[in-house]
Amino acid sequence: MDYAAAIRDRLPAAWRGSDFSALLSDLESYLSPEDVEGVIAAYEFSARAHEGQQRLSGEAYISHPVAVAKILASLHLDSGSIKAAL
């Protein structure tokens, strides 16, 4: 299943960043569908918690946790580590 495409429809427009879609694509290559769903839930929680917050650069704050999660995914870390990054 293409989780990256499925999740885009569930998220508010402001959270539909291509960085998260890229992260999901990376995760689908080595995590189980259940683990990917857990990461999606962690992302949704984090995005809500940081809604309205911005980095000094003007980017949405959630961009930083997603960038950290992408680094961990490139190392093929487990879903718990990815969720903690978010």
Average pLDDT over residues 4-26: 72
Mean pLDDT of 36-65: 91
CA of 56: how far to CAs of 17, 24, 40, 66, 85, in Å?
Answer: 18, 26, 26, 16, 20
Report the mean per-residue pLDDT for the chain: 87
pLDDT at 9 > cutoff 80: no
Average the pLDDT over 55-76 and give the result.
93
> Alpha carbon of 23 to those of 6, 30, 56: distances in Å?
14, 12, 23
At the top level of CATH, the class of 3-85 is mainly alpha
Q: Give the pLDDT band of residue 31 (cuts 50, 70, 90).
A: very high
Name the residue ranges covered by the structural domains of the chain: 3-85
